[in-house]
Chains A and B, each alone.
Chain A
Amino acid sequence: MEKRLIKKNTLTGIAGKMADEFKVWAPVKQEENVIFSPLEKNEQPFFAYLNSKNAPKQIFFPHTETLMKYTSTPKGMVFAAEENKADKTVLFGVRPCDAHSFALLDMLFDQEKYKDQYYINKRNNTTVITLACVEPPYATCFCTSVDGEPVDDKGADILITDIGDNYLVEFVTPKGEKLANYFGETKADAAAETKKKEIAEKAKQAIKSKIPAHEIKPILDVNFENPIWATIHGKCLACGTCTWMCPTCHCFDISDEVKGNDGVRIRSWDSCMFPLFTKETSGHNPRTSQKERWRQRVMHKFKYYVDNFNAIACVGCGRCVMSCPVNLDIRKVVEDIAKIK
């Protein structure tokens, strides 16, 4: 597909122009955090960022989403489906690991057995523009251990790579190509592509944090009852920050909020780290302690997802590593599991 070159100072302008036609989500600076947020009129995106504090998954899978509404009338309940409308959206400047997470979430929300229209609608209406990591942003990045790369187009419709003097813009999907007119006229030459390959290789080598993510799958297959599970969770606060920040965590809760005669059914994020997550109506909780909850977190990412979709449900962004308030480091957990004989 097509490749073009753009000047390095044009990115903000392009995002601004797109904002006339689309809802543009981009990284913005909010006090000390960089987060993804829809650009307001004349708001400047912050492209000099490392990665965003929160994962951009909320664009397709919001923290709280109305599924349907109902009203109690003298003649009985009247139900109304939520409109489920999705604006034409551009997600501008996600990192390759986060774009990779969309490919992983698609496997779940858009599969043969089940199609989640709420997710799919937003996903279909959104063009994902990835900004490659020519230098890995953090020492905690470990994308190369989980099938990712710092310069990678997985999950992207357009990939932008800084190749020194210019940005190389690659249109990865037909959806991406539709936005080609925003990116000038200059066609990329062979030299630009060679340059990009070199940069991609260098960035890959620069990832120093490595975990045996694939290696632990056969170990997890046979070690559901291993004593190691009693040694991981002790300091865990069960705060769920790791799952809130994670681009691939996708568990949710469905509840009704009722005011007077009107009710809404909402879906909101939930977390395997919360005791309430598995508590049953009877009061019984099959996962009795944080031990079982942490086992679930590891199993889901490195075994169940592999069993179900042949993919690891972690993209190596390192957010959970950096955000865990008590430094419960999933990299160390995986390493320790790899040592089980």
Chain B
Amino acid sequence: MENIESKLREEAKRLLLEKRADIIVGYEKGTLPLTATPCFVSTEAEADKLVYNELCTQNLAKYVHDLITAHKNSQKRVKPEDRKKKVIGVVARGCTTRSLIIHLQERQYERDEVYIIGVPCEGYVDKKNLAKALDSAEIIDGNLDGLQLKIKTAAGDKTIAVSDVIAPNCAVCRFNNPIISDIMVGTPAPVKNPATEYDKISEFEKKDIAERWDYFTKEMEKCIRCNACRQACPSCYCPTCFAEQSQPQWVGIGEDKSDTQVFQCMRLFHMVGRCVDCGSCISVCPMGVDLRNYLKKIDKDCWELFGTRAGSSMEEMPPLGKFSEQDKEDFIYNP
């Protein structure tokens, strides 16, 4: 991918200088080799730490929602006439803009409260795929040279093509360029391989119930209920998650297997028409739980039954927000 970092920094400085954004959410270099991490830029000098490359993993829309919510809460006790608006700038690739669209459609904030700096995306490096390619050898040092990763590991040096280790969601991404933006930095990247996006799910669907249940229970047994998946997800923004409600208590907080399964099922079902396949929940999961298998199934059903894809257009109503007499419903009675 072309190096757009200098353009990105310039743009960020301009936005801050012209007071078009109060703070910009972007990525900076991480403290571990071959990582990038979310960062917040509110002065021109800070803008020089912005980076954008294939190591940028997290969907930053989550932070947009957090910052605006925190600001609104802080304004609650301010007289209406004295209330200030805060504009959040955000470095956004395709999936990030889809999440922003979901927020906007769900009336979380107004369009003019967010300034979208669109960036193209070639897919990000998946930690698990990278570890596999390196036989789990520890990465001592590394740098990104064009679309090649030059890596020094505990077991010797290695060069790996980014395309060989991108995240599974990125490999089949249909929306890798921003859907909405206020400015675009860089030229749109070629679309990946969306025709194959449901291949693995279709395979899984063919398995019999026992086999599917075994896989589900095996994956859920890995879960340690840290909630990182929920916390990283831009669509999981409820002020109090059902998992933490106590009156009534929907799920126990202990290690009971069925509590974990119920927690996961409920979170998954809250993602109908709201999961943009950004992979953030998967990349943050410390235990490597295969959440995508289920999220992608929900996405597939949503597409096949209602013909919509989460956050794919500003104009199209989200599936849970519209009703048509032609909506399929027989599956409710004959699953």
**Residue positions of A touching B, CB distance < 8 A:** 30-33, 50, 53-54, 62-64, 137-140, 234-235, 237-241, 244-245, 253, 255, 257, 266, 268, 276, 289, 321-323, 325-329, 331-332
Contact = CB atoms under 8 A, between A and B. Distances in A.
A332 B32 CA distance: 11
B226 A241 contact: yes
Contacts of A325: 58, 228, 232, 283-286
B62 to A, nearest CB: 8
B17 interface: no
B224 interface: yes
Interface residues of B, number: 37
Interface string B1-43: 0000000000000000000000000000011100101111000
Contacts of A31: 288
A268 B253 contact: yes
B226 A329 contact: no
B40 A234 contact: yes
28 contacts: A32-B132, A53-B287, A54-B224, A63-B255, A137-B138, A234-B38, A234-B40, A235-B38, A235-B39, A238-B231, A239-B226, A240-B227, A241-B226, A241-B228, A241-B286, A244-B226, A244-B286, A257-B252, A268-B253, A268-B254, A321-B32, A323-B286, A325-B283, A325-B285, A325-B286, A326-B38, A327-B30, A329-B30
B138 A327 contact: no
Contact of B31 (A32, A257, A327): A327
Most buried by A among B131, B132, B224: B224
B244 interface: yes
A63 B253 CA distance: 10
Given A139-B138, A326-B37, A276 B32 contact: no
A326 B32 contact: no
Contacts of B159: none
Contacts of B284: 237, 239, 241, 325-326
B136 interface: yes
Most buried by B among A32, A237, A289: A237
The 10 closest A-B pairs by CB, nearest first: A325-B284, A239-B228, A327-B37, A64-B254, A237-B231, A64-B255, A327-B30, A329-B31, A235-B38, A239-B231
A32 B253 CA distance: 26
A235 B40 contact: yes
Interface in B44-93: 58, 62-63, 70
A253 B131 contact: no
B6 to A, nearest CB: 23
Contacts of A32: 128, 131-132, 136, 288
A240 B39 contact: no
Interface of B: 30-32, 35, 37-40, 58, 62-63, 70, 128, 131-132, 136, 138, 140, 222, 224, 226-228, 231-232, 244, 252-256, 283-288
Given A33-B222, A234-B39, A239-B227, 13 more contacts: A64-B254, A139-B140, A235-B40, A237-B231, A257-B254, A266-B254, A321-B31, A321-B32, A325-B228, A325-B232, A325-B286, A326-B284, A329-B31
Contact of A53 (B232, B256, B283, B286): B286
A155 to B, nearest CB: 24
B288 A33 contact: yes
Contacts of B283: 325
Contact of A138 (B35, B132, B138, B231): B138
Nearest to B254: A64
A274 to B, nearest CB: 8
Most buried by A among B38, B70, B256: B38
A54 B288 CA distance: 13
A328 B255 CA distance: 27
Contacts of A237: 62, 228, 231-232, 284
B35 A327 contact: yes
Contacts of B288: 31-33
A324 to B, nearest CB: 9
Contacts of A33: 222, 287-288
A50 B31 contact: no
A276 B244 contact: yes
Nearest to A137: B138
A253 B253 contact: yes
Nearest to A240: B226
Nearest to A330: B31
Contact of A327 (B32, B70, B136, B224): B32
B224 A289 contact: no
A244 B286 CA distance: 10
Contacts of B35: 327
Contacts of B228: 237, 239-241, 325
